[in-house]
Structure 1
Amino acid sequence: MIESSADENEVLTPLKALISTDLVLASGSAARAALLTGSGLPFTVQAAEIDERVLKEAGRAAGDTPGTVALRLAAAKALDVSGRHADPDAVITGADQMLSCEGVWFDKPGSHSEARDQLMFLRGRTHYLHSAVVLCRGESVFWQHVSTCALTMRAFSDTFTDMYFALDGGACLSCVGAYRVEGPGVHLFERIEGDYSAILGLPMLPLLQALRAHGILAG
Structure 2
Amino acid sequence: MMETKNTAKLILASASTVRQTLLRDAGLQFEAVDSRVDEDAIKAGFAEGDQDRNASTDALALKLAEEKALAVSARCPGALVIGADQILSCMGKRYDKPKSMGEARANLIAFRARPHILHSGLVLVKDGGTVWHHSARATLTMREFSDAFLDHYLDEVGSMVMKSVGCYQLEGPGVQLFEKIEGDYFSILGLPMLPLLAELRAQGVVRS
Residue of structure 2 in register with 1:24 after alignment = 11
Superposition deviation, residue 62 in structure 1 = 4.8
1:193 to 140, 157, 182: 182
Alpha-carbon distance between aligned partners in 1 of 2:5 and 2:193, rounded to the nearest angstrom: 16
Superposition deviation, residue 118 in structure 1 = 0.5
Alpha-carbon distance between aligned partners in 1 of 2:5 and 2:27, rounded to the nearest angstrom: 11
**Residues 36-73 of structure 1: CA distance to partner in whole angstroms, max 9, x if unpaired?**
01100111110111111121223366566111000000
**Residues 99-145 of structure 1: CA distance to partner in whole angstroms, max 9, x if unpaired?**
01111000000001110110000000000001111000011011000
Residue of structure 1 in register with 2:129 after alignment = 140
Q: How many residues align?
A: 203
Alpha-carbon distance between aligned partners in 2 of 1:183 and 1:80, rounded to the nearest angstrom: 32
Amino acid at match of 1:79: L
**Residues 71-102 of structure 1: CA distance to partner in whole angstroms, max 9, x if unpaired?**
000000000011112xx211000100010111
Runs of 4+ in 1 over 3 A off after TM superposition: 60-64
2:109 is the counterpart of 1:120: yes
- Identical pairs, percent: 46
Residue of structure 1 in register with 2:87 after alignment = 98
2:172 to 167, 172, 183: 183
Amino acid at match of 1:52: E
User: Measured at CA, do residues 19 and 161 of structure 1 come closer, stay the same or move farther in structure 2, by a change above 3 Å?
Assistant: farther
2:46 to 30, 39, 59: 59
Alpha-carbon distance between aligned partners in 1 of 2:48 and 2:144, rounded to the nearest angstrom: 33
2:34 to 47, 50, 56: 47
Residue of structure 1 in register with 2:156 after alignment = 167
| TM-score (structure 2 length as normaliser) | 0.93
Structure 1 unaligned segments of length 5 or more: list them.
1-13
Alpha-carbon distance between aligned partners in 1 of 2:84 and 2:194, rounded to the nearest angstrom: 14
Larger displacement relative to structure 2 (69-78 or 57-66): 57-66
Structure 2 unaligned segments of length 5 or more: list them.
none
Amino acid at match of 1:129: L
Q: Secondary structure at the match of 2:133?
A: strand
Higher relative contact order (CA 8 A, sep 6+): 2
* RMSD value, Cα: 1.3
